[in-house]
């Protein structure tokens, strides 16, 4: 999952970026509203963490611009303001959740996971597809109850497909969502990761849809779309 952080406080921004990367997210960091707006308008993100008190363009304005442009990724607003009127203004502008500073990092990560799950139509923190289970809280993957060890990139790819179970996901979409902006992206590595995951979880866990991409289906679920 790929996350955008728009936060002008360098220490907090870098701490959040580092923590989320360690948790398994691909993360881009912007430090002002103008650059943040540009990234959110031109790149694909699974969620955005947005500070309200930004230089150049304030966070509420950035959020309103995204929504008018049709950018519908979930947005978690961060701010030092804790009045009810500021919360209402943020939610009315299109925010999906609100967290006042100071906050516990664990709470932010939990809220972020919940936003991403809801945006992809999942309600549980545990994603399943047949005998494969992925716990988004712990990052643990099991096959028929037995733990399976995945590399960071394998986990990111599997997690994205499981969040979008039953849908065909193109290589381009996978690249945009499992790598951050500065990563040297190579579409050929996607096939390598898919091959590795199949070896660990079973040859049929991910289906290649020729000319379109990949799909992860639940054997008991509806046909892919």
SS3 176: helix
pLDDT tens for each residue of 1-21: 899 999 999 999 999 999 999
Q: Tell me the DSSP string of 107-124.
A: HHHHHHHHHHHHHTT--S
Helix (H) or strand (E) holding 4: strand 2-6
Pairing verdict, β 140-143 and 132-135: antiparallel
Predicted confidence (pLDDT) at residue 60 exceeds the cutoff of 80: yes
Structure tokens, 143: 């096959």
| 84 phi, psi to nearest 5 deg | -65, -30
Q: Is residue 24 left, alpha or beta, with left meaning phi > 0 and alpha meaning psi from -120 to 50?
A: left
CA separation for the pair 224, 89 (Å, rounded): 39
Predicted confidence (pLDDT) at residue 220 exceeds the cutoff of 80: no
- Section 185-208 average pLDDT: 88
pLDDT tens for each residue of 117-176: 888 877 778 899 889 999 988 889 999 999 999 998 899 999 999 998 889 999 989 988
C-alpha separations of 67 from 3, 54, 64, 169 in Å = 17, 18, 5, 24
- Section 199-215 average pLDDT: 92
CA separation for the pair 133, 150 (Å, rounded): 13
Structure tokens, 21: 């990367």
CA separation for the pair 169, 9 (Å, rounded): 35
CB atoms within 10 A of CB 147: 8
Structure tokens, 26: 């691909």
pTM: 0.75
């Amino acid at each position: 999952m790929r996350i955008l952080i728009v936060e002008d406080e360098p220490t907090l921004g870098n701490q959040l970026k580092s923590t989320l990367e360690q948790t398994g997210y691909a993360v881009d960091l912007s430090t002002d509203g103008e650059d943040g707006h540009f990234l959110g308008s031109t790149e694909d993100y699974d969620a955005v963490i947005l500070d309200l008190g930004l230089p150049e363009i304030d966070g509420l304005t950035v959020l309103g611009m995204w929504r008018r442009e049709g950018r519908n990724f979930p947005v978690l607003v961060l701010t030092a303001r804790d009045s009810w009127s500021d919360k209402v203004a943020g939610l009315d502008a299109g925010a999906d959740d609100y967290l006042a500073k100071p906050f516990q990092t664990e709470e932010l990560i939990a809220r972020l996971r919940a936003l991403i799950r809801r945006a992809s139509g999942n309600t549980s923190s545990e994603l399943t597809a047949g005998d494969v289970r992925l716990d988004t809280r712990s990052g643990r993957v099991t096959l028929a109850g037995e733990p399976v060890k995945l590399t960071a990139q394998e986990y990111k790819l599997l997690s994205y497909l499981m969040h979008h179970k039953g849908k065909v996901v193109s290589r381009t979409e996978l690249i945009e969502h499992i790598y951050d902006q500065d990563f040297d992206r190579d579409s050929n590595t996607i096939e390598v990761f898919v091959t590795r995951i199949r070896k660990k979880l079973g040859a049929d866990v991910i289906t290649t849809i020729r000319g379109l991409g990949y799909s992860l289906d639940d054997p008991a679920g509806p046909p892919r779309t």
